[in-house]
């Protein structure tokens, strides 16, 4: 999978702060986060519950916006986008892989993988062709018309990975991708991520498991909203 050329950092986070308010109570989830991520890096985000890693993941995935600071992706200020622009940005630039797969149960594998292309106004014929091609690349040539309840957990996660890749995104953002899988299937999925990284993809993996984080090139550890180790 060819990736877009890049002359500078893929991602630049500068003084990112995220504060939540509930009535008179204010809680700071992220405190002045500064981070750069290069093209084709493979990074693991780690931290205990409340460390800020989920908040950071949501900001990187444009699912949430920082209270202050700057988020640049390909020199574009993501934090300045409006809701419509953020939605388009997510669909084009971010490939999401979740612990719970997030597949639509009434759709078969091809239809699930093709969903991001539907939102991008790609024709049905082209959507289906590309979805089948992507499913073959993740080892599901014989499962393309099966629905999620006809697949194992590992197969469903492969469908989710194929869906994440379908738009050739800048980033694959994987949130606890092996959390619902047994150890053998987890190994298979992590080997698949290794292959995607070797093919040129930039991967940000959120995990609390040290053995899973070891697959990444670099581990970033958060505690109390701050990066304490890189």
pLDDT tens column, 109-135 = 999 999 999 888 889 999 999 999 999
Residue 88 has a pLDDT of: 87
**CB-CB neighbours of 90 under 10 Å:** 20
Kindly list the domain boundaries of the chain, sorted by start residue. 40-64+84-229
pLDDT value at 50 more than 90: no
Tokens found for residue 54: 């989920």
What's the rounded Cα separation, in Å, for the pair 213 and 156?
22
Angle at alpha carbon of residue 75, lines to 71 and 80, rounded to 5°: 45
Reply yes or no on domain 40-64+84-229 having CATH 3.40.50.1980: no
Q: Is the pLDDT of residue 148 over 70?
A: yes
What's this model's pTM, rounded to 2 decimal places?
A: 0.87
3-state secondary structure of 212: helix
């Amino acid at each position: 999978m060819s990736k877009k050329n890049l002359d500078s950092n893929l991602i630049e986070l500068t003084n990112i702060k995220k504060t939540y308010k509930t009535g008179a109570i204010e809680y700071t989830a992220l405190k002045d986060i500064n981070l750069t991520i290069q093209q084709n890096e493979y990074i693991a985000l780690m931290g205990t519950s409340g460390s800020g890693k989920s908040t950071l993941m949501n900001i990187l995935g444009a699912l949430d916006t920082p209270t202050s600071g700057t988020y640049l992706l390909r020199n574009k200020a993501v934090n300045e986008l409006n809701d419509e622009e953020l939605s388009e940005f997510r669909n084009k630039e971010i490939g999401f892989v979740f612990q719970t797969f997030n597949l639509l149960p009434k759709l078969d594998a091809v239809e699930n993988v093709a969903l991001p292309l539907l939102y991008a106004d790609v024709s049905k014929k082209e959507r289906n062709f590309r979805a089948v091609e992507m499913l073959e690349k993740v080892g599901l040539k014989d499962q393309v018309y099966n629905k999620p309840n006809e697949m194992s957990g590992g197969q469903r996660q492969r469908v989710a990975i194929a869906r994440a890749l379908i738009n050739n995104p800048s980033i694959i953002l994987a949130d606890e991708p092996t959390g619902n899988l047994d150890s053998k299937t987890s190994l298979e999925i992590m080997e698949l991520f290794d292959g995607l990284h070797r093919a040129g993809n930039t991967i940000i993996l959120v995990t609390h498991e040290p053995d899973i984080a070891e697959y990444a090139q670099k581990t970033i550890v958060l505690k109390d909203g701050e990066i304490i180790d890189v």
